[in-house]
């Protein structure tokens, strides 16, 4: 396990009881470097969406827990937010939450001359993701997908 993965896992463990108490679920935790700064981002969600009060409640409690545990050696910026409407589906739990939803898939390399696909997320397994569009089902190898996210309709 990399240091990044270790930090994310430890943070998620600290976040579980905090999220439960706040009535939200953990969508994702990521520890990333952007420029010269490190960010510890926690994404929370709930039925109907989270609001600023949810984020503030979780942020204050998580900050206290992180200060107490103090397992991250680097200076970092902590953020708690919603995953957003066009959220990226990175993990199996994200895909599970999104079955039946409209998604956008971007591939690393063109397939039949196209890199961008849209459809309803039908199924997934460890190797493939299947969407259904107007022409039937399309299967994509997970290793071939650059990004998959919920489709935004305006």
Domains and CATH numbers, the chain: 3-81 (3.30.300.70), 92-150 (2.30.30.100)
**What does the pLDDT read at residue 135?**
86
Report which of 44, 24, 42, 43 is spatially closest to residue 78, judged by C-alpha positions: 42
pLDDT at 1 over 90: no
pLDDT at 97 over 80: yes
What lies within 8 Å, CB to CB, of 47 at 6+ separation is none
Q: What is the pLDDT of residues 29-46, one digit of tens each?
A: 999 999 999 999 999 999
- Global pTM reads 0.80
> Two tokens at 74?
């680097």
Q: What is the pLDDT of residues 41-65, one digit of tens each?
A: 999 999 888 999 999 999 999 999 9
């Amino acid at each position: 396990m990399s240091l990044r993965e270790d930090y994310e896992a430890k943070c998620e463990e600290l976040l579980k009881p905090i999220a439960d108490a706040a009535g939200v679920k953990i969508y994702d935790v990521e520890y990333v470097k952007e420029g010269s700064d490190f960010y510890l981002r926690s994404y929370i969600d709930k039925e109907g969406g989270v609001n600023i009060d949810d984020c503030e409640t979780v942020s204050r409690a998580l900050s206290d827990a992180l200060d107490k545990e103090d397992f991250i050696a680097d200076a970092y910026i902590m953020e708690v937010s919603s995953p957003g409407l066009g959220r990226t589906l990175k993990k199996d739990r994200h895909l599970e939450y999104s079955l039946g939803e409209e998604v956008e898939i971007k591939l690393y390399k063109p397939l039949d001359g196209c890199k961008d696909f849209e459809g309803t997320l039908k199924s997934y397994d460890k190797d493939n993701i299947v969407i259904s569009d107007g022409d039937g089902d399309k299967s994509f190898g997970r290793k071939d997908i650059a990004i998959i996210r919920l489709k935004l309709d305006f």
